[in-house]
Amino acid sequence: MGRNLRIDYRFTGESVERTHKAIDELVALKPDVIFVSTNPVVSAAMQATHTIPIVFTWVSDSVGTGYVANLAHPGGNITGFHNYEPDLGGKWLGLLKEVAPAVTRVAVLHVPEIAANVAFIRTAEAASSPLGITVTGAGVRDAADVERVLTEFAHEANGGIIVTPSPLTATRRDVIIQAAAQLRLPAIYSFRFYAASGGLISYGIDQLETVGEAAGYVDRILRGASPGDLPVQLPTQYQLVINLKTAKALGLNIPESFLQRADEVIE
């Protein structure tokens, strides 16, 4: 039939156990290349194989996390596309303060085992003093943690949230968005789908565009390229999205200058 490509896929959500099981199953199939998304899945894949080429996307701080030797020449069997650099922690903090100037306390909702998530806390802390904000880490590992941690944080006034990218925060976004609304906590998220689901603001990459670029690397590897010779690519542009319905529910008056800069305004 003229077909020469077979694709086997697994979806694991935020479960570490399912992730390792799925990676082991894929490695056992001896594929020509493995395509993975998010830091936890990359970590599992690298533990499972040092020879099968791996292409990643939606990953942060691949050098600091130890996935690659450097961006220009990754070396080894892995390369791919970043979604964020650690300094985005400071950018998210600034955008949140711009739309919610009363915020003086920000919790960075993150998964402690993801080193890139922890890096966002550090860069947010570095940017916090000029903004008059105190930044604290809010580590979570499941949906129950989310509600408990945010409820405790909301006991004091003038709070806001940065929601870092991870399989947990993505799959449990409805829980996070609902808790933020009930507790009246302005929040900024890492992908558009959060704002489309009712989150206040998102600032991040176009996920589908990045996947398309990663498919190009998969094609090059299938044609003989070595992943260690393909440079890790950094994001070139970000999308700013704001949900005005959510802003109004929180009693926020969004500056006109902010609305003009936004790539999308959801009403």
Set out the domains of the chain in order of their start, with CATH numbers: 16-84+206-229 (3.40.50.2300), 88-204+239-266 (3.40.50.2300)
The residue that leads in pLDDT, 1 or 122, is: 122
pLDDT of 261 higher than 90: yes
| Helix orientation angle between 16-28 and 39-48, rounded to the nearest 10 degrees | 40
- Please, what is the end-to-end C-alpha distance for the chain in angstroms? 48
Provide the pLDDT for residue 211: 87
In percent, the amount of the chain with pLDDT more than 70 equals 99
Distance CA 71, CA 10 (A): 27
Give pTM, 2 decimals.
0.81
Do 140 and 149 contact (CB within 8 A), yes or no?
A: yes
Provide the pLDDT for residue 83: 84
In percent, the amount of the chain with pLDDT more than 90 equals 74
pLDDT digits (tens, 9 = 90+) for 98-155: 999 999 999 999 999 888 888 899 999 999 999 999 999 999 988 889 999 999 999 9
Provide the pLDDT for residue 115: 82
